[in-house]
Amino acid sequence: MVPVESYPDEQPFEKKLKLTREPITFNDDNLEGMIQPHDDALVVTALINGFIVKRVLIDQGSGAEVMYPNLFRGLVLKIEDLSKYYTPLVGFDGQMVIPERQISFPVNMEGKEVMVIFIVVTSFSPYFAILGRPWIHAMGAVPSTLHVKVKFCTEHVITIVKGN
């Protein structure tokens, strides 16, 4: 047997892989085409359960993903398709909203797909759905309302989705 030499910071037969990727950033170049100042919301188009859905709000302040009645009807869902959901939500106006139920769907944006649990509510909204922090974190996304864009990594590139 031959003794194995080891070095102080190295363990034999172990290789540490350090994955590096380009940081996700926004700069003034990302403001091109935007009229400043503005207070527009970040509203995008997404593929939800295989259907193109417009008017999807990306909301960093929301701790849940929400589906409104127009999308529920547009996806031709039945109440039997949903599972129970018991926790009340607080709406934009501070009022408590009692959710109907919940359902899981794949949400695909520019080829990157994650499963999302949508809470179905019957209140009015100008949006079809809200994607909140759970979706943002699952996607590894960085939204910017100033730039009206959301960026995330797909494979080896940073993908940019412009707001509508």
Each as own residue / partner, the long-range contacts of residues 98-105 (CB below 8 Å, 24 or more positions apart, any chain) are 103/67, 103/77, 105/48, 105/49
Residues of the chain with pLDDT under 70: 1-20
Contacts of 51 (CB under 8 A, 6+ apart): 74, 75
Type of residue numbered 58 = I
Contacts of 130 (CB under 8 A, 6+ apart): 56, 57, 59, 62, 64, 65, 66
Which class is 35-162 in CATH?
A: mainly beta
Confidence at residue 27, expressed as pLDDT on a 0 to 100 scale: 92
Contact 30, 42 (CB under 8 A): no
Confidence at residue 96, expressed as pLDDT on a 0 to 100 scale: 85
- Name the residue among 46, 41, 47 with its Cα closest to residue 125: 41
Confidence at residue 16, expressed as pLDDT on a 0 to 100 scale: 53
Contacts of 120 (CB under 8 A, 6+ apart): 66, 67, 72, 82, 85, 99, 100, 101, 102, 103
Q: Are strands 157-162 and 101-109 parallel, antiparallel or unpaired?
A: unpaired
Alpha-carbon distance of 145 to 112, in angstroms, equals 21
Confidence at residue 5, expressed as pLDDT on a 0 to 100 scale: 47
Alpha-carbon distance of 129 to 38, in angstroms, equals 22
